[in-house]
Structure 1
């Protein structure tokens, strides 16, 4: 009886903990329309030919306005800017002085950006992803998001929250590469200027339209 009672308590605790993830996601979708934060991104490639897995770390800033607008500015170790203005997705590589321009509707779909900025509400998010709560970890509540479309490169995303504030993205692609993005000093519902998500290719930059 003691073992059964313990098992029931563990199951109940796990259920309560996992329910917090979906509750946090719902609160975030309802209550946070804009935001800005700094981020650290660690990309880990799967090991090859018996070698250990390799990781690369980048830092930068992030801003979003739902639905459909966001901006990642990578500052170290390489400068790169990704802007979605609601119609077009721009990617600027400073070292190459090259801009890639794509139609936003075709470029996003079932991507982590849809979790952050594209979906206007939770029901729209559920149309693109199968969502389920995951156990608490590292002081955060987590939601597992699996794309319903099977033709993309994204395998799954875990979204971490501290309360109703976005705290992390743990992204796994179909090649086994993992990207962990941690957001720092997140400002929810920050007042963002209208120019935040406007992008104009720098003078002399090569523009590639896809």
Structure 2
């Protein structure tokens, strides 16, 4: 999904920040089943992107709300306000500082491999990725934090997404990390997550502010 850096939520980046072991017995079907049980989620997030030289390229904090099918509200609050909204048909990306709204077709964007797509259709995981066992895994099934971690590698060497990692506490997603073809790493930590509580559809609509530039990429 080719959006400005605010949309890193949609793209995949790596497992570098994930330190929990990959428990013996965890399978792609387990991961698909857990994500498939999510009909909606609401959470605070902290998102960090790291370059190939280990320098921090970007840090964002904000709130994400997602509801199937295709509804999303991703609001970055710091260091500057940015907003991505989808109603399942149209995606609006609003950069307040730039006074600009980019409008895209949801269906065209969801066809690319991205975070929203895997939450919407988790069965795609086993078609696109293979599970990577931890090199130090001796078969233990528990750890100090009782977290479950899934580290994945792209099945297709030509994939723009090279590595993916998800970490859960129980059935609750606590972090997602991704590595892209440029070897940039994006880590998203989730806190105060609420699952499967209906979200008002007005959260997934967007009224274009007066006086802003509107760019159609549909």
TM-score (ref. length: structure 2): 0.75
Aligned to 2:58: 56
Query: Which structure: greater helix fraction?
Result: 1
Q: Is the 8 A contact 1:112 1:157 kept in 2?
A: no
SS in 2 for 1:19: coil
Q: Is the 8 A contact 1:25 1:161 kept in 2?
A: no
- Structure 1, unaligned runs of 5 or more: 1-13
Backbone CA RMSD of aligned residues? 2.6
Q: Is the 8 A contact 1:18 1:141 kept in 2?
A: no
Shift of 1:146: 4.4
In 2, the alpha carbon distance for the partners of 1:44 and 1:201 equals: 32
Larger relative contact order (CA 8 Å, sep ≥ 6): 2
Between the two proteins, the alignment pairs up a number of residues equal to 188
Q: Is the 8 A contact 1:34 1:190 kept in 2?
A: yes
In 1, the alpha carbon distance for the partners of 2:184 and 2:132 equals: 22
Q: Does residue 1:158 correspond to 2:165, yes or no?
A: yes
The structure 2 residue matched to 1:90, chosen from 83, 89, 92, is 92
SS in 1 for 2:129: strand
Aligned to 1:3: none
Q: Is the 8 A contact 2:130 2:153 kept in 1?
A: yes
Aligned to 2:7: none
- Structure 2, unaligned runs of 5 or more: 1-20, 135-141
Q: Is the 8 A contact 2:48 2:56 kept in 1?
A: no
